[in-house]
Amino acid sequence: MHFLPYLYLFNIIAIMIPVVITLLFLIVIITNMKYTVKDIAMAFFGISYIPLFLMFIPLLYGMNNGNILVWYIIFAAWGTDIFAYAVGKLWGKHKFSKISPNKSIEGCIGGIIGAVLLNLIYTIVCNKLFSIAMPYSYIIISTIILSIISQIGDFSASSIKRYAGIKDFSNLIPGHGGMIDRIDSMIFIAPFAYILLMFIR
């Protein structure tokens, strides 16, 4: 997104959406409905949500203190994933959803607490080193929201994989799947982090 002029960024995206939809319907027509409307709806969703959500990371980075604020996305996602896995492994007894049967309610709560702890530590360090004076209560509330959205993103990616009948999005990283498998929660967090953190100056 850095190579696109900021003033025209949303105009370019707005134009791209009808262009992509038109091209997808053209495929339906050319193939005599070998591909259905359901197929193009899934294709459009896959094409759209990843770049549209991810574009908020460079937008956040371009804000005042953006190089500091952008790490809240990473720590919220990492904290949620790591602590949810650890807590779920140790104390997880109550299953959360059939979409991802290994995840537990205890793990989900542990993920939220872990994300809050990581972002609080990061805020303390930033406030001391850079004299930004970021409000701790606001960071706590924002991180709770981001952690919940992170887990929604994780479940959403799992539901897509279940629909497609695959375990991972790719085999790029042995034992861990592909890049989307690693950043699925970060993708969902990005726009909400931009909205929440844009008020911090």
- DSSP codes joined into one string, 40-83: HHHHHHHHHHHHHHHTHHHHHHTSTTHHHHTHHHHHHHHHHHHH
What's the burial of 38, exposed, middle or buried (CB within 10 Å: 0-12/13-18/19+)? exposed
Kindly report the pTM of this predicted structure.
Answer: 0.78
Tell me how far the alpha carbon of residue 37 is from its chain's centroid: 27
Decide if 84 contacts 151 (C-beta within 8 A). Answer: yes
Torsion of CA 56, 76, 144, 155, to 10 degrees: 80
- Local structure of 64: helix, strand or coil: coil
Q: What is the pLDDT of residues 87-111, one digit of tens each?
A: 988 888 888 777 677 788 899 999 9
Phi, psi of 188 (to 5 degrees): -70, -35
Residue-wise pLDDT for 63-95, tens only, equals: 888 899 999 999 999 899 889 989 988 888 888
Residues of the chain with pLDDT under 70: 1-10, 99, 160-182, 201
DSSP 100: S
Compute CA 192 distance to the chain's CA centroid, rounded to the nearest angstrom: 9
Measure the CA–CA gap between 121 and 108, rounded to whole angstroms: 20
